[in-house]
Amino acid sequence: MSSPSRIFTAVLEDSELMAEVRERSKKALAAHRPILDANEIALAPADYRAAMEGRALPDADAQDYSEAIVLLDGRPSLLVRNDSFEEPELEYWQTRLNPSRAVLESALRSVGRVELTGHTTYEWVGTAWVIGDRLVATNRHVANVFAQGRGQGFVFRPSPLGGSLTARIDFKEEYQTGAIKEVPVTRVLYIAPDEPGQPDMAVLELGTADELPGPVQLAASSRIDGPVAVVGYPAWDSRNGEDAMRNIFRDIYDVKRLAPGYLMPAASATDIQHNCSTLGGNSGSAVLDVQTGAAVGLHFGGRFRTANFAVKAEVIRSVLDRLPASRPGIAVPGGTASEAPTAASLAGREGYRPDFLGTGRRVRLPILSSAQEDDAVSVPGRDDFVLAYTHFSVVMCRSRRLCYFTAVNIDGNQSLNLRRADNWFLDPRIPADTQSGNELYRNNNLDRGHMVRRLDPVWGSPAVAKAANNDTFFYTNSCPQHANLNQRTWNDLEDYILNNTDQRNLKVSVFTGPVLAAADPVYRGTRIPLDYWKVVVMVKTDGKLSATAYMLTQRNLQDDFEAPFVFGPFRTYQVPIARVENATGLSFGNLSDFDPLAGTEAAAPAPARELTTASDLVL
């Protein structure tokens, strides 16, 4: 009888996992359903029951077959579609993966396939993932296929077809989606020497691209006790048994997958071992801490169903530290959020300052109605419902699980332009069930629309600006907006405000939020706001305050958030502040006194000004 693989043994030793695998298998046998597909060899029910009960099996074939069944459930490889991994069949993995979907799916968007042009054998050679500003990590043996050392640097290898080989990273290549998101590799910054003690690692620089995925953050330590997940592109591998691969991968190869498992005890000074299900195309995959989404390692090889190896996060960091200092943007801790924040880590945030615009120009937060106060989310240690972040604040509505409003201070004289983080988190200071997480945005045309624009609070010292950048990626600061609304119209207004602030070195305070109407349509258990508003307060060049209000609607976009979108007519309006108050139930105090559109709103509705160009704004 063949001896069980080390991964098989690890699964057998997990009593909770094995209990569910055995129960699932017993039900399948009782229903006379095949355990695997029809292409697999049959196993006598008595032998299978023996395996599920931990008893020895009479022959090697039976042992191998039972191992395949256990691995199919115990160490699955989950397909990724539309930046989301499929639901695991076992409750064991559902309970471990689903609470971390937001951080895992943020990270998996940053993993891509290394594709080649000009190579006569390979169309693609492995996996890579974003580790910094236009930087990706992969394996030495992957990069060596298309690049080589020359002098003090690296060049692309010559192509047999003429010229040089070229490489690109496709951040899609998902099962049955057909989506493509390719970014060219423009430079090879580092390939580790192929000698003992050196990591199987390379660092590549990418060309510019719109909305390049944010970096996967490095874990502070590769030593974790919880589950890990490998994200990459497993390929059919002739070195492994075809039946065994079919059991886990179902003859679907070359597409993005997430494979959960655990770290194994054995490790070296540079490497860790894990027991996730991987194949040859996984070379260069990210090994993620399931709880935080941070990378604990860079997968580089192993033996199928035995053990896999990865470069430790600590070693990756040491390589990045040795890269030329002139190459900025490495995603080491301190740049963007690498782990799910704790309530303690958010202590001391000052939040929105009413006195930000100067002496005698105090602009208070909007005032909730009594009904809104009854439905507001309480914040520990405060009596005003305010969640304070770096340079901005948020007040949440419990029943809608969205914000009533956000408030931000912008200092154009100190603004910095930092790369987006793109790792979204629930705020640990308030209950998770009072927030709308990634379950609302997965596999549809809804964007996580920033209420506080990402760059608005990003000013001050580099450390403070980084904290503000990261703080804008809490789900408390997002509302569901159709992708075209977010990208085409709302940002036009925000860009104009921010750009003019920078040019004049003005200070500005901005309030933003959704109109939470009772008639809003319900989608995935959440009412989707159809209207949004913004109130901008600034000091004009003559020293006087200006307070202007804007409303934008996506009512024409409500038909089907999961269907292909056909862009229809909708408009952005400048409106009197009183109209925002009527629509939201909020009070903005005396700001209407500084509103150029204020007038006879009480007697007759003041006209709304349609905004088609920046010149239409009245400030």
Q: For each of the domains in the chain, give its residue range(s) and CATH number, in order of start.
A: 6-74 (no CATH), 78-101+218-313 (2.40.10.10), 110-206 (2.40.10.10), 344-616 (3.40.570.10)
Of the candidate ranges 245-249, 287-291, 485-489, the one whose mean pLDDT is the lowest: 485-489
Q: What span, in angstroms and rounded, lies between the C-alpha atoms of 424 and 120?
A: 41
pTM of the model: 0.50
Largest Cα–Cα distance of the chain, in whole Å? Answer: 92
Per-residue confidence (pLDDT) for residue 257, from 0 to 100: 97
Q: What span, in angstroms and rounded, lies between the C-alpha atoms of 536 and 362?
A: 14
Do residues 270 and 197 make contact, with C-beta atoms less than 8 angstroms apart? yes
Per-residue confidence (pLDDT) for residue 193, from 0 to 100: 92
Q: In this predicted model, what pLDDT tens digit does every residue of 450-466 receive, in sequence order?
A: 899 888 899 999 889 99
Of the candidate ranges 1-10, 41-50, 108-117, 571-580, the one whose mean pLDDT is the lowest: 41-50
Q: Where are the beta strands (DSSP E) in 286-368?
A: 286-289, 295-303, 307-312
Torsion region of 431: left, alpha or beta (phi above 0 gives left; psi -120 to 50 gives alpha): beta
Mean pLDDT of 249-261: 92
Q: In this predicted model, what pLDDT tens digit does every residue of 523-575 receive, in sequence order?
A: 888 999 988 999 999 887 778 888 989 888 755 434 444 433 222 233 567 88
Residue, of 10 and 185, whose pLDDT is higher: 185
% of the chain with per-residue pLDDT over 70: 72
Per-residue confidence (pLDDT) for residue 3, from 0 to 100: 45
User: Buried (b) or exposed (e) across 17-56, using 16+ Cβ within 10 A?
Assistant: bbebbbebbeeeeeeeeebbeeeeeebeeebbbbbbeeee
Mean pLDDT of the chain: 79
Q: What span, in angstroms and rounded, lies between the C-alpha atoms of 295 and 423?
A: 13
Of the candidate ranges 13-22, 77-86, 442-451, the one whose mean pLDDT is the lowest: 13-22
% of the chain with per-residue pLDDT over 90: 45
Do residues 534 and 493 make contact, with C-beta atoms less than 8 angstroms apart? yes
The first and second tokens of residue 14, run together, are 């997990």
Mean pLDDT of 150-172: 89
Q: Is the pLDDT of residue 382 over 70?
A: yes
Mean pLDDT of 214-218: 90
Residue, of 199 and 485, whose pLDDT is higher: 199
Per-residue confidence (pLDDT) for residue 483, from 0 to 100: 58
Tell whether 486 is in a known binding site.
Answer: yes
- Most trustworthy range by pLDDT among 16-20, 336-340, 546-550: 546-550
Q: Is 450 a catalytic residue?
A: yes
